[in-house]
Amino acid sequence: MIDLKLLQKDFDIVSAKLIRKGVDAALIEKLKIKNEELKKAKSSFETLQALQNSMSKEFGIYKREGKDISELKQRVDANKIVINEALEIQRACQEKLENIAMSIPNMPDDNVPDGKDEDDNVEIKKVLTPREFSFTPKEHWELAEENGWIDFERGVKLATSRFSVSFGMGAKLERALINFMLNFNSKRGFDEVSVPALVNRTALEGTGQLPKFEDDLYKIDGQELFLIPTAEVPVTNLYQDEILSADDLPKKMTAYTSCFRKEAGAAGRDTRGMIRQHQFHKVELVALSKPEESETIFNEMVECASDILTALELPHRIVNLCTGDLGFSAAHTTDIEVWLPGQATYREISSISNTREFQARRAKIRFKDGKKNSMVHTLNGSSLAVGRTLVAIMENYQNEDGSIDIPEVLKPYLGM
């Protein structure tokens, strides 16, 4: 959640940052109105409280001097009633403001490039040179079906469209990739954790998926439980409503989970294959840090995900997202896009974000900073999306006869 104290202190700066991210002006105006209502309610309460304190002192003087206190007592008692009413008004105003603020995205960092959509993202660098084929490379869905690795029709039979079933080497490679990624991340200092695939509403509110994106989630009927859209949700919320010791930071974690999303991309896009599915596997990086350490850890996470692709010998590029393509909770995001020769383009395979204090404020994750409690910074990133990594292997390691070679670093995981 955005910093309401900062909002009250300097509304113009906050609103300017939100406008950069594409927040509707009407919503910002609504936020402003509720913010002004809260300021007035606080002022009224503080005035009444000051009056009460003054009368209480006067009450003590009257008693010491033996004066008649009946009239003063009536005024004190009457003011108490008004104070309680003013406090309830203030609480109601605070709740209304927080309800609106829960649907307001994070403010972008000042160095995030301005832009409307992914076309305005800024390339930082390319890593590895795409292979030159002596034949026209096929797309992954065709290779998967030819080799018997993935069956899309049986996925539809078992569930609905945008589900698939992996067989044989396809299933083994998915498992090998998961183990390889977890081991790689562990060597980089990220502790492995295994978390539930179901979380409650509070957890999803903490990381920003709720209330705004409820329609994209799979909810369990009759319960306030949801299938996770990413391991970011349970891993970040492990420390929900806790005060950590500064000595315990940073906390760097990695987890493998299946992920579930009703929304699977734009209508008509990537309707074939594994690029956009309702269920997919992902290895995630999550970090909680002191504010002054978060940018260093952010760069570590980008480097870690990129180095996995380099180890797999998969060409990729690193891109800074513009304001219009930035996610709801993110203050700054770097995407990693892998080269897919079948499509002759780079496609997102990892998205690494620094949310600053945004998620920590919602989830109430703090640390003891000297004598005071401060918000941690939270970071998250794919390391990597398993299905998309398998897609990249199929397309980059394909041969003219349709067979697919296996990356050297995965062979020990396959007993080869």
Cα–Cα–Cα angle for 66, 72, 77, rounded to 5 degrees: 130
| Residue 388 annotated as catalytic | yes
- Biggest CA–CA distance in the chain, Å, is 106
276 flagged as catalytic: yes
- Is 175 part of the annotated catalytic residue set? no
Tokens of 408: 């050297």
DSSP one-letter string for 159-208:
S-TT--EE-HHHHHHHHHHHHHHHHHHHHTTPEE----SEEEHHHHHHHT
Q: What are phi and psi of 65, to 5 degrees?
A: -90, 0
Asked if 364 contacts 241 with a C-beta cutoff of 8 angstroms, the reply is yes
- Which listed residue (164, 294, 388, 395) is catalytic? 388
Position of tokens 């699977």? 264
Of 44, 58, 348, 374, which residue is the catalytic one?
A: 348
The single residue of 306, 350, 351, 353 carrying the catalytic annotation is 351
Cα-based torsion angle of the residue sequence 233, 236, 239, 244 in order, rounded to the nearest 10 degrees: -170
- Residues 276, 317, 347, 374: which is the catalytic one? 276
How many residues in total does the chain contain? 416
Q: Which of 261, 361, 362, 366 is catalytic?
A: 261
Distance (Å, whole) CA 95 – CA 362: 14
Q: Is 348 tagged catalytic?
A: yes
- What does the block give as tokens for 210? 């709720």
CA gap 349, 275 in Å, rounded: 9
DSSP string spanning 361-383? HHHTEEEEETTEEEEPEEEEEEE
- Whether 351 is a known active-site residue: answer yes
Active site residues: 261, 276, 348, 351, 388
